[in-house]
Amino acid sequence: VVTWGDAARGGDSSAVADRLAAGVTAIYSTDAAFAAVKEGGEVVTWGDAGYGGDSSAVADRLAAGVTAVYSNDAAFAAVKEGGEVVTWGDAARGGDSSAVADRLAAGVTAVYSNTSAFAAVKEG
């Protein structure tokens, strides 16, 4: 992965360059951060922490098994095998899904977003 542009908004990925050197299958973005999905479903993030560039709070849940990532202006939502949803980024824009965590623990089949929120469709 090669990045350029505004360093504070994701143009500088040097802090995670070793993790981006190989195996990246897709990259997603918010207004100021990126999330790369690697083979095996690991997610690597960089950019402005307030826009999802820092996923350290959920890193253990993003280490493997992610099958899809969705984003809005300032937050990300990752769907894992089995339909668990993991979110990070601006809490007010969907980065904090703790209020509905029990409903996002499994069975999610699709996620949709607008500029500041997410909606998930579950099985059945």
pLDDT at 100: 98
- Asked if pLDDT for residue 82 goes beyond 90, the answer is yes
- Is residue 123 classed as helix, strand or coil in its secondary structure? coil
DSSP-assigned letter for residue 111: E
In whole angstroms, what is the distance from residue 23 CA to residue 9 CA?
23
User: What is the gyration radius of the CA atoms in the chain, in angstroms?
Assistant: 14
Tokens 């996620």, residue located: 111
pLDDT at 124: 79
pLDDT digits (tens, 9 = 90+) for 47-57: 999 999 999 99
Residue 15, Ramachandran bin (φ over 0: left; ψ between -120 and 50: alpha; else beta): alpha
pLDDT digits (tens, 9 = 90+) for 13-32: 999 999 999 999 999 999 99
Average pLDDT rounded to a whole number, residues 22-49: 98
Average pLDDT rounded to a whole number, residues 35-58: 98
- Asked if pLDDT for residue 61 goes beyond 90, the answer is yes
CA angle in degrees (0–180, nearest 5) for 26-103-46:
30
